[in-house]
Amino acid sequence: MSKRRIKVLIVDDSALVRQVLTQLLDGIADIEVIAAAPDPIFAMAKMNKEWPDVITLDVEMPRMDGITFLKQIMSTRPTPVLICSSLTEKGAATTLQALQAGAAGIFTKPQLGVKDFLHASKQQFADAIREAAKANLKNLHALPTAKQHIAITPENPPLAAMAKTTEKVIAIGTSTGGTLALEFVLSQLNPVSEGIVIVQHMPEKFTAAFAERLNSICDIEVREARHGDRIRPGLALIAPGGQHLSITRNGAYYQAVVKPGPAVNRHCPSVDVLFRSVAKVAGANAIGIIMTGMGDDGARGLLEMQQAGARTYAQDEASCVVFGMPKEAIKRGAADQIVPLSQVPGIIMKYSSS
C-alpha cells in the first residue's frame, strides 16, 4: 500500500508562482497539490471542499492579507502553514509576525527571476513542505509567552558577578519552532547569564529582524553576530542568515567568527559548524543545547562537544514542534540530559552561577 501523500494548498496572488509551484510539486511522489488560490477568500472556498495538510502562503495579497488569514486558520482549525515571503526587509518583518501567529516555517523567494529560482529550489521547497507537515502545532501554541518568568534555581547571582572575566560559552542550535522557543528561553534570562551563541535556521535579513525583536523583549542584549564580537555575559549573538557562525579564543575570552561558506547539512548557518568550533575552542568550558527542528544538523557537533567535556542537552519530544534535530543527537548518545523546554532557562542560569 502506497504512503499517503501530503495534501498542499498554494495561496499566492502571482499566477506565475501558482503555476510553477503546482508543476514542480506535481512531480514529487509524496506531495499532492489539491488546489491553488490567488487570495485567502478563494482559498477558504477551496478548503471548505477539501482541507489541506500544509498551506503555502504569501503574506502580501489583495482582499485579505496573509497574516489575517493565518490567524483565522490557527483560531479555527490549526494547520501547518509555510510562509512564502520575498527576501526583503519588509518581507522579513512581516514574516516574523507570521511566525508569531503560528506559521511553521519560511521559504523565501526573490522579487526577480522567481521562475528560475523556484525550479532551482525544487528539492528545498519539497523538504520545507515535509518539515511543515511534521510540525506539532499543539506545542507551537502551548509555548509559554515571553516575560512569563519561571522560578530559576539556584538563586540568580548578584549583578556584581558581571565584573568577572568569563571563560564560558553557551551554544544553542534550533530550527523549526525555534523562533518562539528562543523567545521563551532568552526572555527568562538576566544580564548575568554567560555569553550565548545561537544558530537558528533562517534566511538572510530575517535573522536581523528576529534579533531586533528579541532584543526589544529581553533583559539581556540580543543581536545578530558580527565578526570579531566578544562573547560576554548578558549578550546573545544570533548567526546571520547566509553566513556561518563559529567561535575562536582571544586571550582570556571568546570571539565570534562570522563568514560565508558552503551549506553544511543543507544549512548556512549550520548548527554543526558552531558546535564543532565550540568543542574545539571551549571544550569543557561550554554547554551545548539542541532544540526543536527537522533534520540532523547539530547532532554530530553536539557529540563532539560532549567528547570535548562540555555538558550537553537535548529538548524532549513532548515540548518540541519538530523532534528531528534533538532525536538525531539523542540517537548518537550526544545528549547528557533530555529536558523539556521549560527547564532550559534554569539550566543556563545555573551554569552561569556555577
DSSP per-residue string spanning 238-294: EPPTTSEEEEEEETTEEEEEEE----BTTBSS-HHHHHHHHHHHTGGGEEEEE-S-S
C-alpha R_g of the chain: 20
- Is residue 227 part of the annotated active site? The answer reads no
Lookup: cell for 152: 530559576
Buried b (16+ CB within 10 A) or exposed e, 3-12: eeebbbbbbb
CA distance 5 to 192: 49
Selected catalytic residue, list 86, 175, 277, 352: 175
- Is residue 216 part of the annotated active site? The answer reads no
Do 176 and 294 contact (CB within 8 A), yes or no?
A: yes
DSSP helix/strand/coil, 314: strand
Instruction: Region of 351 please: left (phi>0), alpha (psi -120 to 50) or beta.
Output: alpha
- Is residue 297 part of the annotated active site? The answer reads yes
Selected catalytic residue, list 272, 296, 297, 316: 297
Selected catalytic residue, list 39, 85, 193, 201: 201
Catalytic residues: 175, 201, 297
